[in-house]
Amino acid sequence: MTRVRPTWPDLPAHVRDAVVAELGGPVTGWTSHDGGYSPGWALTLETADGNVFVKVASTEHEVAARLHRREAQRAAALPGGVPAPAFRWILELPEPGGAEPAWVVIASDAVRGRAPRTEPWDLEDLDRLQHLARRIARYEAPDGGTFPAFADHTWPEAALLAAERPAGLATYDPWLAENLGRIAGIAAPERQFEAFAGPHLVHGDLRADNALVVRHADGVEEAVAVDWPHAVRGAEFLDQTGMLAGVHAGGGPAPEEVLERTPLAVGVDPEAVTVWVAVLTAYFARSSLLEPPPGIPHLRAFQRVQAEACIPWLRYRIRES
């Protein structure tokens, strides 16, 4: 399912007027970008001074508004040279006559690029995404609290699955239920902390629909990352491996095949990667069995297909360890 987003004329007039004022001139054209998982507007606006990419959320959608605020903070603090569009500004607007923010608008440079080819997966574009993850990880996330430490967040889903044994587990490969105790041990909090700690910049949600392929003047194409609300500080392999379940679920190669094409950086601990795969398997499986969050009805199906891609990957890594 593809989200059909509202368009520029659908925005309330006072929001459009505030955006035009911030842009310093009229909007002469617009393109609405469908897809994604959060509600709200995603627009490329054309002006006399060039194009700007704008995202808008009503504060009625609390999660979307919070993510926009977080993205503004983290995108503005990215180190120079990171393959990402430059952040421009954030607006928080009340309704006419109101005092509390009712709308959150963020803007960045518009990227002239194309979506990675995923139907079917173009292996060269997949390579570009993998190299993008490696390029992002070459940067250290700045200190100061803007980028939380990934290792400080504990993923409890493996232990919760082992304790709860929800009925929906029966809809998955029986291997998962049979090995929940072992998986919970691999994904124990102390092992997560050791595996995920690091100084590297981590996008945190790097996948095909959060990247664009741009062509340079010399004809070389490379990917850049967009949508940065989840950026954190952590281990260098997290982005590169975190996308692989989604790739496989979307008809692409199995995770280990991708890593044969684009190996992990020298020095990455294979056991740390296995901890990450165990965490992802449990996270996607348990989350897929929950009620959908407001405004994002198709999220659970997306998590389901990624869980189904993670299970054989985890089986392989446990067998090979």
pLDDT tens by residue, 173-189: 999 999 999 999 999 99
CATH code of the region 123-320:
3.90.1200
Checking if the pLDDT of 2 tops 60, the result is no
**Quick one: which of 30, 28, 24, 25 has its CA closest to 11?**
30
**Architecture of domain 8-109 in CATH?**
2-Layer Sandwich (3.30)
What's the rounded Cα separation, in Å, for the pair 34 and 27? 20
Is the backbone of residue 227 left (phi > 0), alpha (psi -120 to 50) or beta? Answer: left
For residue 191 the two structure tokens come to 């092992």
pLDDT tens by residue, 243-282: 999 999 999 999 999 999 999 999 999 999 999 999 999 9
Residue where the block lists tokens 């869980």: 307
pLDDT band at 37 (very low <50, low <70, confident <90, very high): low
For residue 261 the two structure tokens come to 């094409």
The stretch 302-320 carries a mean pLDDT of 95
**Quick one: which of 72, 62, 13 has its CA closest to 40?**
62
pLDDT tens by residue, 288-301: 999 998 777 888 99
Looking at residue 293, its pLDDT comes to 84
Write down the domain spans for the chain: 8-109, 123-320
In three-state form (DSSP H/G/I as H, E/B as E, the rest C), the secondary structure along the chain is: CCCCCCCHHHCCHHHHHHHHHHHCCCCCEEEECCCCCCCCEEEEEEECCEEEEEEEEECCCHHHHHHHHHHHHHHHCCCCCCCCCCEEEEEEEECCCCCCEEEEEEEEECCCCECCCECCECHHHHHHHHHHHHHHHCCECCCCCCCCEHHHCCCCHHHHHHHHCCHHHHHCCHHHHHCHHHHHHHCCHHHHHHHHCCCEEECCCCCHHHEEEEECCCCCEEEEECCCCCCEEECCCHHHHHCHHHHHHCCCCCHHHHHHHCCCCCCCCHHHHHHHHHHHHHHHHHHHCCCCCCCCCCHHHHHHHHHHHHHHHHHHHHHHC
Looking at residue 73, its pLDDT comes to 98
pLDDT band at 39 (very low <50, low <70, confident <90, very high): confident
**Quick one: which of 224, 249, 262 has its CA closest to 305?**
249
pTM of the model: 0.93
The stretch 233-248 carries a mean pLDDT of 97
Mean predicted lDDT score pLDDT of the chain: 95
